[in-house]
Amino acid sequence: MTSARPTLYRDAALADATGPDLRKDVSVLVDQGRVVWIRPLSEEPELPPDVHVVDAGGSTIVPGMVDAHSHVTLPGGSHWIDRGADPPDELLDVAEHNGNLLGQAGVRWARDVGSPAAPDPSDGRRRALALRVRERWRKEAARPRLKVAGTWLAHSGVLPGMMIEADDGPTLLAAARSQLDDGADFLKLYLDGPKRDEAPWPADAVRAVVEMAHGRGAKVTAHSGFLAGARVGIEAGVDSLEHGFELDEEAATQMARQGTFLVSTLAVFRSWMSFAQTTTLPRFVGEEGKERTTKRRELAIESVRFARRAGVRIAAGTDFGGGSLRANHLAWEVESLVEAGFKPWEALASATVRGGELLGEPGAGRIVEGGPADFFLVHGDPLSDPASLWRVWKVAWRSEPHARTA
């Protein structure tokens, strides 16, 4: 009979994202997928006789990251909206590829905030594809862990064909109940409407959804590209805003007061700007499109700064798939937060512990004795150099087990 041997990661630095300084000369013993102990190199206790030792010298151990805004069934890229209409089987294959990319990049948790719906082969019911991905990945320990919102709930005229449309409060509430009945972990409302300066629903309609969801132990998040929708979501008590590209000081202060999270996705603008060099699409290469992107990026950075100063808890997301980024780009969002004025350790916290808090998973984004060995190793110090997150060397939960015979 064989089983996995204990593994010792010896002489690494450790970045726990709770402050600006690394812990150096650290050894971590892992057995059966759990952290047995974390000790200074000079204080290692007696080791198991069959331990496998990984020389981690010069590397930094980082908690498995949380991509707080993702779309696992979609590929991203410059045609990301078109890809939502691809055949369901192709989108499920995309999810498997995205799962590989996430793991290789050190992302342990993904929060899927919307996926296309298709008939489920098990019973013919039309459900969000990400629900099937979540169930499949639960059976595979090395796969990312998922929280799934189901399919977007939106007003008609926003993205026809991709979303569940509801043009009044009762229809919205019924659609929200249906998503929870299908097994969604939380709900996603699209608070940008057909008109930029008007939210798609009044605050009382959104509040009814929030109260219903909370009564069933679920949370509600809201897409917020413009200030009008953000104000309605905040007034209605949603648990988080996605993007928050147009916040003001008043909105940020209210968010902090009532504990509303902001999920940042600043890197989407960097992505769009890169398309000016790699595509011929008018929205990216035309002067009007580039000017619009620049202005929206400036507003988004200002909004994140308002939120940070107000004390809003900020979790980092890529919007991969449902936006232009790819599944292994969370480091880009960390870099974007630093560019916006975050200290590197604060930006890493947004991609680790803050994401765990948003998920309601106390162990996500943390490394603690007795907890899961959900960490990865990079070359460099992410507490001072966010680019080091691109230099992933080893991912503990994906490493091949070293067999022992019992």
pLDDT tens digits for 28-49? 999 999 999 999 999 999 999 9
Q: Categorize the per-residue pLDDT at 18 as very low, low, confident or very high, splitting at 50, 70 and 90.
A: confident
- pLDDT of 403 reads 55
* Mean of the per-residue pLDDT values of the chain: 95
pLDDT tens digits for 287-328? 999 999 999 999 999 999 999 999 999 999 999 998 899 999
Please report, as a single letter, which amino acid is at residue 124. G
- Residue 295, classified by CB atoms within 10 Å of its CB into exposed (0-12), middle (13-18) or buried (19+), is exposed
Residues 8, 5: Cα–Cα separation, whole Å: 10
| Residue 69 predicted with pLDDT over 80 | yes
Q: Helices 267-278 and 330-339 meet at what angle, rounded to 10?
A: 110
| Residue 90 predicted with pLDDT over 90 | yes
What's the N-to-C CA distance of the chain in angstroms? 5
- Half-sphere exposure (Cβ direction) of 71: Cα atoms closer than 13 Å: 28
In the chain, what are the domain boundaries? 2-63+365-405, 65-359
Q: What is the pTM of this model?
A: 0.96
Judge whether 2-63+365-405 and 65-359 match in fold.
Answer: no
Residues 185, 142: Cα–Cα separation, whole Å: 21
Asked if 377 contacts 362 with a C-beta cutoff of 8 angstroms, the reply is no
Go through the chain and tell me how many residues it has.
406
- Class of the 65-359 domain? alpha beta
| Residue 1 predicted with pLDDT over 80 | no
pLDDT tens digits for 121-160? 888 889 999 999 999 999 999 999 999 999 999 999 998 8
- In sequence order, the β-bridge partners of residue 48 are none
- Residue 229, classified by CB atoms within 10 Å of its CB into exposed (0-12), middle (13-18) or buried (19+), is buried
Q: Categorize the per-residue pLDDT at 402 as very low, low, confident or very high, splitting at 50, 70 and 90.
A: low
Kindly state the average pLDDT of the residues 270-280: 95
Q: Categorize the per-residue pLDDT at 2 as very low, low, confident or very high, splitting at 50, 70 and 90.
A: very low
SS3 for the chain, per residue? CEEECCEEEEEEEECCCCCCCCEEEEEEEEECCEEEEEEEHHHCCCCCCCCEEEECCCEEEEECEEEEEECCCCCCCCCCCHHHHCCHHHHHHHHHHHHHHHHHCCEEEEEECCCCEEECCCCCCEEEHHHHHHHHHHCCCCCCEEEECCCCEECCCCCCCCCEECCCHHHHHHHHHHHHHHCCCEEEEECCCCCCCCCCCCHHHHHHHHHHHHHCCCEEEEEECCHHHHHHHHHHCCCEEEECCCCCHHHHHHHHHHCCEEEECCHHHHHHHHHHHHCCCHHHHCHHHHHHHHHHHHHHHHHHHHHHHHCCCEEECCCECCECCCCCCHHHHHHHHHHCCCCHHHHHHHCCHHHHHHHCCCCCCCCCCCCECCEEEEECCCCCCHHHHHCEEEEHHHCCCCEEEC
| Residue 401 predicted with pLDDT over 70 | no
- pLDDT of 84 reads 92
Kindly state the average pLDDT of the residues 52-75: 98
Kindly state the average pLDDT of the residues 270-290: 94
Lowest-confidence pick of 95-99, 173-177, 286-290: 286-290
- pLDDT of 160 reads 81
Sheet with 219-224, side-by-side order of all strands: 164-165, 153-154, 186-190, 219-224, 240-243, 261-264, 314-316
Here the tokens at position 149 are: 């919102």
- Residue 49, classified by CB atoms within 10 Å of its CB into exposed (0-12), middle (13-18) or buried (19+), is exposed
Kindly state the average pLDDT of the residues 372-378: 97
The correct CATH number of 2-63+365-405 out of 2.30.40.10, 1.25.40.320, 3.30.70.100, 2.60.120.330 is: 2.30.40.10
From residue 176, alpha-carbon distances to 73, 190, 200, 238, 352 in Å are 21, 12, 15, 13, 29
Here the tokens at position 123 are: 């019973």
Q: Categorize the per-residue pLDDT at 52 as very low, low, confident or very high, splitting at 50, 70 and 90.
A: very high
Residues 75, 325: Cα–Cα separation, whole Å: 8
